[in-house]
Amino acid sequence: MFFTIEYKSRQLITFIWSLFFLALMVHPVYSEEIFQSRIVYYPIGTQYSPVNQAAQLLSTTITNSLKACAIVCNQNVLCRIAEYDTSASGHCRLFEGDIDTTGSIITLPSQSRVGVVQISASLFSQHGFPCGTSCQENRYLTCQNDSTCQCMPHTYWNKTASICMPQSSLVGAPCQQNMSMCREDLGYSCLPTNQCGCKLHLF
């Protein structure tokens, strides 16, 4: 949180900045807004562990910094997680999903670092509205055939949270009926057991 308050005392300003940098040392996670994405960076030695890497990995490229990797992520509307190798190799991996339901941040003795796109309900305030220019200028919504702003592919509308959340790509993941919580492009649907899986077709 940032405050725009002017102080006449230089000593007080110095003290506040000292506290700010101390906080960064204790909690080395910071955020930076890049175009339409707010990215939260995790420390070196963190990696993203998706529940289904084959289904969630969007691309692997080479960049010269974590920020450059995050910019590449921002250019891909499906990207929610960027993982950057801070060593000379500079691998940048982009993923769909999140760190709560379709993956997690793990700590390893490595040179990788993770950036996560922060999602809030305000980003989806135009959901269900007529397309117009709203969806064209919104990274998180797309204009569907019915000419309204809807969730991006591989996500579903969560009415309770008022956000588009990632569909699960894991067989057996919990789901609710009539909410499209499972990756339909993989042939998954919410079974009567309220778990994602493939329906058996009997002939």
CATH number for the domain that contains residue 45: 3.50.4.10
155's CB contacts (< 8 A; 6+ apart) are 164, 165, 166, 167
pLDDT digits (tens, 9 = 90+) for 152-162: 999 999 999 99
pLDDT of 172 reads 94
Helix (H, G, I), strand (E, B) or coil at 201: coil
Its pTM stands at 0.79
pLDDT of residue 136: 73
pLDDT score of 21: 31
Structural domain includes residue 130: no
Query: Residue 11, Cα to own-chain centre: how many angstroms?
Result: 40
**Using an 8 Å Cβ cutoff, are 44 and 86 in contact?**
yes
In a domain, 153, yes or no: no
Domain assignment present for 187: no
The answer to whether residue 178 sits within a structural domain is: no
d(CA 38, CA 118): 6
Q: What is the token pair recorded at 137? A: 């200028």
Predicted confidence at residue 79, as pLDDT, reads: 96
> How far is it, in rounded angstroms, from Cα 53 to Cα 95?
8
Tens-place pLDDT, residues 50-94: 999 999 999 999 999 988 999 999 999 999 999 999 988 899 999
**Average pLDDT over all residues of the chain:** 82
CB 6: neighbour CB atoms within 10 A? 5
What's the total number of domains in the chain? 1
Confidence bin at 168 (pLDDT 50/70/90): very high
Q: Would residue 100 count as lying in a domain?
A: yes
Neighbour tally for 14: CB within 10 Å = 10
What domain range is 95 assigned to? 27-118
Q: Is residue 145 part of a domain?
A: no
23 or 164, greater pLDDT: 164
- Would you say residue 109 lies in a domain? yes
pLDDT band at 15 (very low <50, low <70, confident <90, very high): very low
As a residue count, the chain comes to: 203
pLDDT at 3 over 60: no
